[in-house]
Structure 1
Amino acid sequence: MKRRDVLTAGFGLAGAGLAAPAVAQSAPALRWRLHSAFPRNLDALYGAAELFARIVGEASDGRFQVEVVPAAGGEPALLDAIGAGTVEIGYSAAYYEVGRDPTFALATAAPFGLNARQQNAWMVQGGALDLFNEIFARQRLYALPGGNTGTQMGGWFRREIKSVADLQGLRFRIAGLGAQVLAKLGVVPQSLAGPDLYAALESKSLDAAEWIGPYDDEKLGLNKVAPFYYYPGFWEGGAMLHFWFNAQKWSELPKSYKAIAQSAAAQVNTDLQAKYDARNPGALRRLVGGGAQLKPFPQDVMEAALKAANEIYAEISAKNPDFKRVYDSLKSFRNEEYLWFQVAEYTYDNFMIRARARG
């Protein structure tokens, strides 16, 4: 199928007197389910899956329909269901699967890894997607990038953090490799879903919790149960989401449907980052206006966490060849990216931030 056919199908030009798209003439009618790891009230994340489904349906002239199913508490088993073929597509963060293989975490975000633009560049142009899909294929999975949250916040704390010593015994909800890094500093990592964080902080079974950033944190009401809002979330400099497919079902899709799914995922990949960039500033203003105390992590916490992260990467690399191969790629790409960013991006942003402060 030609690219023009995909585009004309997506914009409904067939109804304007043109011939019906090839998709409508020859491709099979499919009804797939897309299970999201996120509930409806997190509209940016849940909406990403809805946007994907809408584009696929419209571009295929209704022949390829995708039903979106919201999270219902079974997120950790989502990729198992996709690999088994009981679910055709999922939308989730790979680092939820760090217990399956720590290499998965690198597909989302790594402590002191890449920012959002760099993560996308590494994935799309730096060869990372091919590396990951080679690894994912062993578990009957195929993935496409599906958006980024940008650098996340460090989370909500019921007490102030003045030094590394204040982390000792802290019960902190955190996911991915960040949990392992902070455990080295005395934190007691907890695994909870986003909708459960408010109650856990309110009941004091948690001392702190990180989720995403101002827009989603405000929706969860975390500012009402923990006053200190820390930044940056150094474990997620640019957290990437993915659309997950059963590998066999993906391989059996007609080429036209693959092209449509790839185009839909690419649009979501752009749209989600734009949503967070557009909505976070206003949410941050409201949170601070409502009493949230915005604070940077102390320098000794950042330095200790960086040291712990490098130790963990060395430990995992020594026993996991896949992780070493992917992390070496990430590290090399990061070094080159920051060589460039420090020349243009950082100097421009730094000037504009100072100019804004001067009014």
Structure 2
Amino acid sequence: MPRVLRCLVFGLISLLALGASVRLLAPADTTSSVRRQLTFLRAELESGAAERAQDQFPEGYFFLYALYGLAQVDLGLAGDEPDRSRREAGWALRHLESAAGRRPFDAGLTPAYGIFYRGWVNWLRGGILRLPPHDAADAAEVARFERDSAEIAAAFDASATPYLAAYPGQAWPVDSTVAAASLALHDAVLSRKYQGTVARWTAKVRAGLDPATGLIPHTADVTTGAPTSSARGSSQSIIQRFLPEIDPPFARSQYTRFRTTFLSRPLGLGPAIREYPHGTDGAADVDSGPLPLGVSFAATVVTIGAAKVQGDESLADGLARFGEVAGLPIDTWHTRRYAFGLLPIGDAFLAWSKSARPWVAATPPPPKRAVPGWWPLPLLVVFVAIGAAPWLIRLRRRS
């Protein structure tokens, strides 16, 4: 290799290592970075990203619009351009309520279109109603929020199990958790109607936890509510995001158990979330994505938001900064994308997680620290070694 080209290659390796070190140490969840992500996502949605996502994931279209809208609400509630956030979240909601948004779901379920669809839509609508400015158009949205909340509550009250069907004959407890949180949101936004429904739901959940982990299970029998699979990181990360809005003391106990059961440091490096509990392994699927060393990137990203809602900023920051290294962010003047923008739904989950804040409950005191403050040091040593290695090798050959 010619000397000049060799120096260029060595310089590029050192530059990449330096960039990784900076991303590891710099703040990862600034409002401006989330805004730039949402600008990228808006353009992608306008160019058909949701339709393309539907070809890859069962709820790809739905999640891409839903997460875009929810992240907008989070920013608006933080005081960042609330009028813009309200408009954008409303635009996302209209797409969820379109024929394309409803297409994967069964109108014959109770409630209609299933608890996955109804819970997420109700949560987003309630969030929009929390944002200023309030105007005459709110009356129709308030009426819809009242009606949908009443239908969800009636379905829970009439069911022997806390886990309603998302698809015919299939129930995922995470979906009912989102719907139950939307009832708590109703009581915070409008009138206190559903405390009894939410309390009964929580009592049923407590009575049917996964015996292997003591956590809410991944799947459940749609008739009895009995666990049909153990807790998994991909659903737990979402459950832990919503459970504090429903029952904060129960949520804290579940969150502490979740961290013990799923938090990992693969190869002794940055924090990450496993898909399966410590001591067990399982197959990757559409929920988990690939599982290198047992780690789920999806669960790791979503746990950033769960940690923030729990006041666990040290873990949220650690997961986010580790993600800045692994996610290969690319910035322009107005946008930010991860993994070269090849998977916009991943950007949507990350934006939703980095913008997270409670909508109903107050942020609780931080739990006991789960990762040591020096956790970046081993990874930083690796980056320094990679950056210095080509030059050290060259010096050794010249000596």
Please report the TM-score for the alignment, with normalisation by the length of structure 2.
Answer: 0.24
Please report the TM-score for the alignment, with normalisation by the length of structure 1.
Answer: 0.26
Per residue, is there more strand in 1 or in 2?
A: 1
Per residue, is there more helix in 1 or in 2?
A: 2
